[in-house]
Amino acid sequence: MAPKKGQTKPSIKVKCKQVIDMPEFENKPLHTRPHTVPDELIAQALYGARGKQTLAAEKLKIAASTLHGRIAQSPFLQEVLNHSKELLLDKAEQALHELIEEKKEFPAICFFLKTRGKERGYEESPSLIISPDHEKKFEGLMNSLKEIQSSISSSKIDERSETTEFNSD
């Protein structure tokens, strides 16, 4: 819809807000030509599907590839898609915060610290990956370590036996 003479086109943010407030479209007639589906109807479907494009296409009874193409061509629909995904992310973060604050869920706390507390040192250390060339060196080091451990253990046993012999006299 082009603006009337003297009027300015509403911003994408304003249009997103208008789409969110639209009544549900479930009972509207099907479109026989997918390219004639209004952007506002596509936007409503994207919000209803929380940014899942395939689900939105099913609601609109159009091919997912058609919907992908329409989104790629429309800055308004791209903004709607991003906004609907952000809304879902906000809801997920809110649920995570509730698990942490109200229920003191340990896994939720760990997840939050690993993902959001990195700058404070709360991060998982990456797995150690050893190349085949270094594997032999590593095995040699491990064998040396076992020998040292074994000699320490045997010297402790010898000390205990000397102490026991001394006490028995």
pTM, two decimal places: 0.51
Q: Is the pLDDT of residue 68 over 90?
A: yes
Residue 103: CATH number of its domain: 1.10.10
Whole domain around residue 62: which residue ranges?
A: 12-120
Q: Is residue 133 part of a domain?
A: no
Mean pLDDT score of the chain:
77
Q: Is residue 41 part of a domain?
A: yes
Q: Is residue 156 part of a domain?
A: no
Q: Is residue 154 part of a domain?
A: no
Number of structural domains the chain divides into: 1
Q: 151 falls in which pLDDT band (50, 70, 90)?
A: confident
| Three-state SS at 51 | coil
Q: Is residue 160 part of a domain?
A: no
Residue with tokens 């300015």: 8
Residues 6+ apart with CB under 8 A from 18: 10, 40
Angle between helices 75-101 and 12-20 (to 10 degrees): 60
Q: What is the pLDDT of residues 1-46, one digit of tens each?
A: 455 555 555 555 556 555 555 555 444 544 556 678 899 999 999 9
Q: Is residue 155 part of a domain?
A: no
Q: Is residue 115 part of a domain?
A: yes
DSSP class of 17: H
Q: Is residue 1 part of a domain?
A: no
Q: Which two tokens stand for residue 86?
A: 């952000």
